[in-house]
Chains A and B, each alone.
Chain A
Amino acid sequence: MSETTEEMRGCVIPKDLYYRVEDHTWVRVKEDGTLLVGMTDVAQSMAGPILHVKARSAGTQRDRGKPLATVESAKWVGPVKSPVSGEIVEVNGKVTQDGGIVNKSPYGQGWIVRMKPVNQQAELAEMLTGEAAVEAYRQKIEKEQLKTCVHVEGFDGET
């Protein structure tokens, strides 16, 4: 486990990402100002083996909290809620072809959409990162009695 990553109950929480813990989503700020958005290790474990990821198309405007994508597993279906307001500029075609990539690499190859934010500074300030994110997830895992994260073979928890 690297210095930038925390692990609790087997769940990987990279400290260099921004999180909306309540929605199990993460954001990575790219050099070009766009944001990559995905679901956390906790979320992929709760979902189980993901069968399909259906994302809204590029060009779609999203307010924070609105669904960016729908994720289906054998036992669960739910939204990936947008952690920020903005426009979807790219959908990760790899995960829409193979939802299992989200299970395998939730923070790396399993990013779901790229967004162009409209209110980045303010909205990122309301998200958690670093130790604060880790602590918030620790509390959520304890409070909701979430199970130890399950990882598929070849799991990569790096960003």
Chain B
Amino acid sequence: MIDGEGKKILVIQTHGVDTPRRTYSPLFYAMAAAAMGMEVMVWFTMDGTNQLKKGAAEKVKLDPTSDVTLKTMLEQTMESDIKLRVCQQSMALWNMKQEDLIPGVEILGATSIIDLALGADHVMYY
């Protein structure tokens, strides 16, 4: 196993609830990296923004036999000490305000992604 402990991983999620099959895996990989001791952040932009709207994630359930929803995945992600950030400009395009977001997500300006990407040891883009 490659030792990535202490490394910074940035996961960029551009897909949202309209493509539900693209929602779980980035979070799963983020949690795997965190479980290995890496510092992980997930940046939501473009359609990814709509995952974070209150009431949206619980409607996404890929396995009908399981009680796991996208809401579960997002909660587990935050419980793994993974930071969730959302693009402010993407929020505007989705007519979303701070109060529309699920708790625990921080809003950052679009150009923050540049610093975040430069500061990460690796960027995983979905």
Contact = CB atoms under 8 A, between A and B. Distances in A.
Interface in A83-133: none
A77 B35 contact: yes
Contacts of A76: 31, 76
B5 to A, nearest CB: 7
A139 interface: no
B35 A79 contact: yes
Contacts of B80: 78
B110 interface: no
A66 interface: yes
A56 B35 CA distance: 12
Contacts of A70: 32, 35-36
Interface in B20-53: 28, 31-32, 34-37
B84 to A, nearest CB: 17
Interface of B: 1, 3, 5, 28, 31-32, 34-37, 63, 66, 68, 76, 80
Interface in A30-75: 54-57, 66-67, 70-72, 75
A79 B37 contact: yes
Nearest to A52: B32
Contacts of A71: 35
Contact of A67 (B28, B31, B36, B66): B36
A102 to B, nearest CB: 15
A133 B63 CA distance: 35
A60 to B, nearest CB: 8
Contacts of A56: 1, 3
A72 B32 contact: yes
Contact of A75 (B3, B5, B34, B68): B68
Contacts of B34: 79
